[in-house]
Structure 1
Amino acid sequence: MQSRLLCFSGGPAARRVRLILQQVARGRLAAERQLQPEVRALHGLRGGYDSGDTVTIGDVSFKLKTPKSPELVPLNYMSDNLAQSVVQYLRWIMQKDLLGQDVFLIGPPGPLRRSIAMQYLELTKREVEYIALSRDTTETDLKQRREIRAGTAFYIDQCAVRAATEGRILVLEGLEKAERNVLPVLNNLLENREMQLEDGRFLMSAERYDKLLQEHTKTELDGWKIVRVSEDFRVIALGLPVPRYSGNPLDPPLRSRFQARDVYYLPFKDHLKLLYSVGSNVSAQRISQLLSFATTLCSQESSTLGLPDFPLDSLSAAVQILDSFPMMSVQAIIKWLYPYHILLGKEGRTAVEDALKRFELQDSESPLLPNRIKKVEQIHGSKTLQADVTVQIAEKEVKFQVPAGTRPLKLCSGSDAFIKTSSHKQLLAEMMQSHMVKDMCLIGGKGCGKTVIAKEFANMLGYNIEPVMLYQVK
């Protein structure tokens, strides 16, 4: 929707229009005032509350219970500055939880959906059973795994069975990646809270189990191998919309088991407020231009041109780097997040560069980038393993902290197999900047030295390396 300036002259018609606009404005202000108590009620109950306390989001309240396994309750997902849209998502999930319904959060790639699910679990002190689905996930990974010990076969309960019997929330991520013959095993568990297990036990809903318990003893039900499914058991599924993104579309019977909610990117206003709080040393205009550019690449018009979505959730990491290095080039950081010069063809690169020009983010001269790492020093007395790193950029030296490993730190490995060139020094300094806020991925041709650079980087920060060979399935 485009914003336009409306001008009215005198007359009865103009007065009527002004009256209508005043009523609309008052209605919008009243709606915003109604949303504010939700944030205050939510923030007022964060922290060390006990069993029997109540968490309230707006007009929805949830009574807390003491978790049996506190180590399974997510931590450090809640923040003091929750976006209003996130509060609305949490309120909706709480409504469905109170109704005993499973939910399906569907939206574009990124950590937002998982973060919302974990924030709700932390807020309500609920235990989680998490599984990331893939093409290799089988029925055994969800129900029971068979093990042989000393010549005897045992069945070990997996995530779905543990969540059902212990009253936990089962988080299924990547629903679109699972094979079509895997998820139907959950159909009856989702709809009727019932499931037949390989070891002979039968999971039964709490309501039916309690009715049977009125007519039979607990010993009889145990002899029949009937297990009660907890009334607190819920499922939160996370997935991408198919067919826009690649994956398997959901079967209609399975899809009908969930209450779905479209979790798109944060609204522009909420995202801008979040970035302002992260980058206090970055100008507001620069942050606004960066977010406008990223939002443009996630629009429907950009997807029509074949451009991949910009990772909007990683903008906070980019702003953190700019906050520590305000002299750095914005276009260079954009290339770290969105390597369009590698991923796209000529037309795609032209479209991205046109967007950079439109939002005044293109470098007019050679960009300022870090030259080399000057110092790497261990921080002693810290609760977490940290290192002080000093990087030279232009003629300035900037000092910042990064996570470190357990081994001694070495600025130079001294290996005869690796000779640092100026490009290697610059790459290692850029990797150190990325490591300050996020994980990284080195992209390059075969034999260009990616593994050697990774080992040198690990030696600098005292990390142990664990190689994992990946392959592409055709």
Structure 2
Amino acid sequence: MQSRLLLLGAPGGHGGPASRRMRLLLRQVVQRRPGGDGQRPEVRLVHAGSGADTGDTVNIGDVSYKLKIPKNPELVPQNYMALSDNLFQIICWKFDFIFGIISFSSLQELTKREVEYIALSRDTTETDLKQRREIRAGTAFYIDQCAVRAATEGRTLILEGLEKAERNVLPVLNNLLENREMQLEDGRFLMSAERYDKLLQDHTKKELDSWNIVRVSENFRVIALGLPVPRYSGNPLDPPLRSRFQARDIYYLPFKDQLKLLYSIGANVSAEKVSQLLSFATTLCSQESSTLGLPDFPLDSLAAAVQILDSFPMMPIKHAIQWLYPYSILLGHEGKMAVEGVLKRFELQDSGSSLLPKEIVRVEKMMENHVSQASVTIRIADKEVTIKVPAGTRPLSQPCASDRFIQTLSHKQLQAEMMQSHMVKDICLIGGKGCGKTVIAKNFADTLGYNIEPIMLYQVQCSFLAALGL
């Protein structure tokens, strides 16, 4: 029987594609390998030749995995192993237990595994998992969807938000997980590798093809990500579906490891500031804060905040906290008072308005490794700090160049803060109707040479944009 993995944990601070959720997942697994002595095994990539095609092997402690050449390299996650050596060892140590059980690592990039991803929602149907029908020149064609592609090509299928799955898709998932079988709309039938190979002993492949029987790869694996219900909204997991997974309850990194990670990112930030920031965030993720109705603090975004503080060490921590956790907008009076109490406890209540970014001084185009970037100089506390941010392909313009937009002091400060956020993350502008969000966003795009594609967002489109990682 094939192994599956079901991971339940607290959500991050925002929705996002599998890459973001997997990165959070990798940083959170904390259970040590049973029977171990507590030592972190060394992670090594053993080269048997000039490349993975000649038999490279990944060793995590005494567990080995032989790499295979991906048929579709674009489906292998990229740039998630570009971490400090210490953090890389921590992540792989946390995965030692899972790696040994299911004979493959969820470190998809490290092991060159191809990935298929789908974000489940209340609107997800069988068609989204199996096949989609298209009409071309008056003829109907069936297009394989993520579950079929993953099963036949031997990829890892990631199911995001399993607790949101409606009852209509559970039979499809159950049969695929338990028996490795699925009846397709175009007449084909997916069959487990074991049963298919037994049939091959008595029949030829040509006969099986004429019967529309398709072999499910023995390398096919499923990882389901979900939230516990209750505490969070959704459907309790169906017992038959739940029994088909090996479950792991995922927590955040231990305080000590998280602190060590933040120290390595923010070399220019004082250790006291980093400790205060992490202590504040950890407190808001405690059971006591949950009882008060406070939303979880996005601990996975702390690294981005420290990266900004590393470039702007004079900036107050409370200002960075308000970017990650806009409690003044999200919470009512009692919630605000509770958060303010935690800020006061860790001596973070002074906003230091004189040390906030004031304006963007200049923007210059630059290329790095054939990637468009911009060198942006920001004035903060009577100093000028230059940072690198991603840029578009169009010509750049200076922030005050537009004669259609007369910037006030608050506009200039907001543009500078957006530039700081853009250095590490995407941006979400929140404001009342008619306050100028669209104008500011367009001016920001013009400054960095981005093309704009406006989308009017309605409730029905939320699941679609979530699947895109937006």
The two structures have a TM-score, normalised by structure 2, of 0.85
Q: Quick one: structure 1 residues 42 and 302, their matched pair in 2 at CA, closer, same or farther if it must change by over 3 Å? A: farther
The yes-or-no answer on 1:377 pairing with 2:364 is yes
**Range with greater deviation from structure 2 (444-453 or 53-62):** 53-62
Q: Which residue of 1 aligns with 2:386?
A: 399
- 3-state SS, counterpart of residue 80 of structure 2: coil
**Is residue 276 of structure 1 aligned with residue 248 of structure 2?**
no
* Aligned partner letter, 1:320: Q
Q: 1:63 aligns with which of 63, 66, 73?
A: 66
Q: Partner residue of 2:91?
A: 86
- 2:354–2:381 CA contact under 8 A, matched in 1: no
User: By how many angstroms is 1:175 displaced?
Assistant: 1.4
Offset at residue 56 of structure 1 (A)? 1.9
Do structure 1's residue 457 and structure 2's residue 460 form an aligned pair? Answer: no
**Deviation string, structure 1 residues 422-451 (Cα, Å, up to 9, x no partner):** 110010011011111111111111111111
What amino acid maps onto 1:59 in structure 2?
D
Partner residue, 2:39: 35
Identity of aligned residues (%): 75
Q: Aligned in 2, Cα 1:64/1:164: closer, same or farther, shift over 3 Å? A: same
Moved more, 129-138 or 212-221: 129-138
Match of residue 250 from structure 2: 263
Match of 1:97 among 99, 102, 106: 102
Deviation, structure 1 residue 470: 1.4
Distance change in 2, residues 1:32/1:350 (3 Å): farther
| 2:288 corresponding residue in structure 1 | 301
What amino acid is aligned across from residue 231 of structure 1 in structure 2? E
Partner of residue 168, structure 2 = 181
Q: CA deviation at 1:90?
A: 2.3
Distance in 1 separating the partners of 2:362 and 2:400: 14
Alignment pair present for 1:165 and 2:152: yes
d(CA) in 1 for partners of 2:155, 2:65: 16
> Where does residue 201 of structure 1 map in the other structure?
188
Note if contact 1:35-1:58 (Cα within 8 Å) is conserved in structure 2: no
Between stretches 127-136 and 440-449, larger displacement belongs to 127-136
**Residue from 199, 207, 212 that aligns with 1:225:** 212
Structure 1: distance between partners of 2:197 and 2:353: 73
After TM superposition, the structure 1 stretch with the greater mean CA deviation from structure 2, 213-222 or 291-300, is 213-222
In the alignment, what sits opposite 2:22? none
Amino acid paired to 1:57: I
Identify if the C-alpha distance between structure 1 residues 188 and 290 changes in structure 2 by more than 3 Å, giving closer, same or farther.
same
Cα deviations by residue, 1:3-52 (Å, 9 ceiling, x for unpaired): xxxxxxxxxxxxxxxxxxxxxxxxx9xx996523x2x2346679954443
**Correspondence for 2:202:** 215
1:131-150 counterparts in 2 under 5 A?
A: 131-150=118-137
**Superposition deviation, residue 54 in structure 1:** 2.5
Task: Tell me by how many angstroms 1:184 deviates.
Answer: 2.6
Q: Deviations over 1:75-116 (max 9, x none)?
A: 2111333366632442233233229xxxxxxxxxxxxxxxx9
Pairing of 1:423-442 with structure 2 (within 5 A): 423-442=410-429
**C-alpha distance in 2 between matches for 1:63 and 1:391:** 48
Q: How many residue pairs are counted as aligned between the two chains?
A: 425
1:310 corresponding residue in structure 2: 297
Residues 180 and 248, structure 1, Cα contact 8 Å, conserved in 2: no
In the TM superposition, what is the alpha-carbon distance from 1:71 to its structure 2 partner?
A: 2.4
Conserved? CA contact 2:43–2:92, under 8 Å: no
The answer to whether the 8 Å contact 1:147/1:154 transfers is: yes
Question: Unaligned regions of 5+ residues in structure 2, if any?
Answer: 1-31, 463-470
Cα distance, 1:451–1:387 mapped onto 2, change above 3 Å? same
Q: Distance in 2 between matches of 1:449 and 1:419?
A: 12
Q: Which residue of 2 aligns with 1:20?
A: none
Match for residue 469 of structure 1? Answer: 456
8 Å CA contact retained: 1:328, 1:367: no
How far off its partner does 1:178 sit? Answer: 2.5
- How far does the alpha carbon of each residue in 1:238-279 deviate from its partner, in whole angstroms, 9 at most, with x for none? 111111111222211111111111111111111111101100
Structure 2 match to 1:15: none
Q: Distance in 1 between matches of 2:146 and 2:293?
A: 38
Listed as ranges, the gaps of 5+ residues in structure 1 are 1-27, 100-115
The answer for the alignment partner of 1:287 in structure 2 is: 274
CA contact (8 A) 2:362 2:399 kept: no
- Which residue identity is paired with 1:419? I
Partner SS for 1:333: helix
Q: Which residue of 2 aligns with 1:121?
A: 108
Q: What is the SS of the residue equivalent to 2:214?
A: strand
Structure 2 CA distance for partners of 1:295 and 1:84, relative to 1, 3 Å: farther
Partner SS state of residue 377, structure 2: strand
- Kindly state the Cα deviation for residue 179 of structure 1 after the two structures are TM-superposed: 2.1
State the alpha-carbon separation in 2 of the partners of residues 170 and 461 from structure 1.
36
State the shift of 1:59 in Å: 2.6
Q: Aligned letter for 2:69?
A: T
Match in the other structure for 1:102: none
How far apart are the structure 2 equivalents of 1:56 and 1:97?
A: 15
Q: Is the 8 A contact 2:52 2:69 kept in 1?
A: no
TM-score of the superposed pair, with normalisation by structure 1: 0.85
Please report the RMSD computed on the Cα atoms of aligned residues, expressed in angstroms. 2.3
1:106 is matched with which residue?
none
Moved over 6 A (4+): 43-47
> How far apart in 1 are the matches of 2:231 and 2:91?
24
